[in-house]
Amino acid sequence: MHKLESSHLEQLIHAQLGHCSSKDIFSQSNSDIQDLRKMDDRDCSFVLAFLQSLNTQLDIDAALLRLDGSLEMYFLHLHLFYKAYYERLFELEDFLKNNDLQKVCLQAQEIKQTSSNLGALRLSRLASEIERKAKQQTLDLSDDLLIEFHYEFAALIQTLSILENLSVVSPEHSQTRVDSEYLVAELLFVQTRIEQDYEMCLQHIQSLLETFSQEKEIRREISLLVNIWQQADKKRSASYLEALLSRLTTLQAD
C-alpha cells in the first residue's frame, strides 16, 4: 500500500479526523475542506492515506486487485458510488416502512455489490444480511442490523463527500476508455446474474443510464439493451449482452 512521504500531510489528515464527526462536511463552506483544497500535493498516496485514516473499513488492496491495480478506475468507482447514493441514505428504510420487501432486497443487493467493488467489505456483508432477512420476511425497523448498516453506509458517504469537495475523486472531463472499462465491468456482473435474477439485472442496467447521462454513445447502447431486456426474452437478452460486451472489449483493445 502507498505510504505518505510528507509528515505535514499525515498530521493534517489526523487533525482533520477530529472535526469530521462534529461538522457538516456536506457544506461547501467547511473551513477545513477549504484548507485542504488549497493543498498543492494531492497525489494518490495522500488520497489513499486519507481513506485509510477514516473509519470506513475500506480494503483498498482487495478492490485494486479486482481492477488490475488501476487507481484511476478505483477513484471512478468511488465517485460513481457517491453520486448514486449521497441523496439516498434513508431510501432502504423508507422501503421497509412501506413494507416493500422486494425493493428492500433489490436495494440491499445493489449496495452489496457496489460497496464490495470499493472494498467496503463490512458494508457489503451488512447489506447481504439485510437482503437475507428481507427475503425471509424477518426484517423490521427495530432491527439492530439496520442501525449497523446505516452507520457504516453514512460513514462511507461522509468520507466520499470529503473527497468530492477536494475534487480528487470526481473526474473533471469525460474519460472514454475509463468509462468503457467501468461499463464492461458492470455488464459482466449482469451477465453472471441473468439466470438467477432477471428483474434485478434490468434495474441494474437502467441505473447505468443515469451513471452515463452525459455519454451519448454509451447511453444509446444501454437504452437498446434495456429495450430488449424489457421484452422478457432471456435468450435474446443474453445474446445481445454478449455481442455488446464483445464490441466494447474490441474497442478497448484498439
The C-alpha cell that represents 172 in the structure block = 473533471
Identify the pLDDT of residue 35: 42
Domain boundaries, the chain: 44-170, 176-253
CATH class held by domain 44-170? mainly alpha
Sign of CA dihedral 198, 100, 128, 65: positive
Identify the pLDDT of residue 129: 96
Identify the pLDDT of residue 237: 86
Identify the pLDDT of residue 76: 76
Identify the pLDDT of residue 131: 93
The C-alpha cell that represents 190 in the structure block = 449482469
> Which helix (H) or strand (E) is 191 found in, with range?
helix 176-193
Nearest to 79 by CA among 156, 140, 17, 12: 156
Q: What is the mean pLDDT of each run of 10 residues along the chain (254 residues)?
A: 35 40 33 39 54 63 78 77 81 89 89 87 93 92 88 83 61 50 77 79 80 73 85 85 78 55
123-to-56, 71, 229 alpha-carbon distances in Å: 9, 21, 30
The C-alpha cell that represents 118 in the structure block = 470499493
